[in-house]
């Protein structure tokens, strides 16, 4: 394994170039087909339920648009800053991914033996596993890092930014302080590398930087699969059986509820299986709707004032 070439100036230019391709590049979370599919899904659900287009619009934005615009500046700043992290923090993310691959190598070396020099992951099954298992492992890491940011008050002070908006938009998905995003990305990179390393050694192949840092096809599919409705007011539930496996937009909206009993549930990004396994799953009723935002805790009552002395 060799260290990929890295130049900070080149990375910065690549970041700026990626912003220009926000709507046109398939690797972008806002690739235009993902937006089109979200709009069509919202319209199709509403029309199937017998609603008019005006009613569908009111469901998608059930408040004065100025309330949504109030958060737009912060959302755009967070999206722009966090879009830079994969480029500017590439050496750190590569190191974590390579560390994960090395851990898998050391753990499985007694089972599978030394990889064959020059061997590559090039069979259909191996390539499928090399995409699917890292996708699952990264999501597992995101479940735990997300849960930690809810568990500890110091971490919650940072994560609170993500839960603050009373109006959810697709940009809310990127509303994180960069230091929190680095934690999430770092954990996902470590587990991504571990899964890639496990598949590689099982097939007697070596891990290359391109394998570690390539775009995962399952991530692209997930972005296409109505991911923008997760942070919206369009309540899209899945069948109950599927809700134990995958996180529906309706389930993630429950996580953004101002009710603390709900926002400490449904931590998973893709696989609701993690919430089910670890006791944090919440399945909302189909007609259940939520008030978003963060309720401030009630102030502790101060000491009772001493009675004023009686006048003489």
- pLDDT digit of tens for each residue in the chain (312 aa)? 445 577 888 888 888 888 999 999 888 889 999 899 888 888 888 888 788 888 878 877 777 667 777 888 999 999 999 999 999 998 999 899 999 999 999 999 898 888 777 677 777 888 888 889 999 999 999 999 999 999 999 999 999 999 999 999 999 999 999 999 999 999 999 999 999 999 988 888 766 655 555 556 777 778 777 788 999 998 889 999 999 999 999 999 999 999 877 889 999 999 999 999 999 999 999 889 899 999 865 444 344 334 444 433
- 125 and 269 belong to one structural domain: no
- 203 and 245 belong to one structural domain: no
Burial group, residue 254, by CB count within 10 angstroms (0-12, 13-18, 19+): buried
Rounded Cα–Cα distance for residues 246 and 275 (Å): 10
In a domain, 210, yes or no: yes
In a domain, 149, yes or no: yes
- 172 and 289 belong to one structural domain: no
Domain boundary (224, 246, 263) is at 224
pLDDT value of residue 55: 81
Rounded Cα–Cα distance for residues 88 and 9 (Å): 9
Rounded Cα–Cα distance for residues 101 and 194 (Å): 4
Rounded Cα–Cα distance for residues 32 and 170 (Å): 13
- 285 and 263 belong to one structural domain: yes
In a domain, 189, yes or no: yes
Q: Which domain holds residue 281?
A: 238-293
Rounded Cα–Cα distance for residues 62 and 292 (Å): 12
- 152 and 104 belong to one structural domain: yes
Q: What angle do CA 145, 147, 148 make, to 5 degrees?
A: 65
Backbone Cα Rg of the chain: 23
- 131 and 158 belong to one structural domain: yes
Instruction: Identify which of 179, 171, 155, 166 has the alpha carbon closest to the alpha carbon of residue 267.
Output: 155
pLDDT value of residue 152: 96
């Amino acid at each position: 394994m060799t260290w990929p070439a890295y130049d900070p100036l080149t990375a910065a230019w690549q970041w700026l170039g990626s912003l220009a391709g926000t709507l046109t590049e398939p690797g972008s979370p806002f690739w235009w087909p993902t937006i089109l599919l979200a709009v069509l899904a919202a319209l199709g659900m509403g029309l199937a339920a017998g609603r008019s287009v005006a009613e569908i619009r009111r469901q998608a934005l059930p408040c004065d648009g100025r309330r949504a615009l109030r958060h737009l500046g912060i959302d755009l700043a967070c999206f722009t800053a966090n879009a830079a992290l994969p480029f500017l923090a590439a050496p750190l993310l590569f190191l974590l991914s390579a560390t994960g691959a090395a851990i898998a190598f050391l753990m499985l070396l007694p089972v599978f033996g030394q990889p064959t020099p020059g061997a590559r992951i090039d069979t259909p099954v191996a390539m499928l596993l090399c995409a699917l298992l890292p996708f699952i492992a990264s999501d597992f890491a995101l479940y735990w890092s997300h849960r930690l940011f809810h568990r500890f008050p110091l971490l919650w002070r940072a994560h609170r930014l993500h839960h603050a908006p009373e109006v959810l938009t697709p940009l809310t998905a990127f509303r994180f302080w960069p230091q929190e995003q680095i934690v999430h990305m770092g954990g996902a990179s470590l587990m991504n590398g571990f899964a890639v390393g496990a598949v590689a050694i099982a097939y007697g192949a070596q891990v290359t930087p391109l394998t570690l840092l390539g775009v995962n096809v399952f991530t692209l599919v997930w972005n296409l699969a109505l991911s923008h409705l997760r942070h919206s007011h369009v309540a899209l539930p899945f069948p109950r059986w599927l809700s134990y496996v995958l996180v529906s937009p309706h389930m993630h909206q429950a996580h953004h509820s101002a009710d603390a009993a709900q926002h400490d549930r449904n931590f998973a990004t893709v696989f609701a299986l993690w919430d089910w396994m670890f006791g944090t799953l919440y399945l909302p009723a189909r007609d259940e709707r939520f008030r978003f935002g963060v309720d401030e805790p009630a102030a502790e009552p101060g000491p009772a004032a001493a009675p004023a002395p009686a006048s003489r």
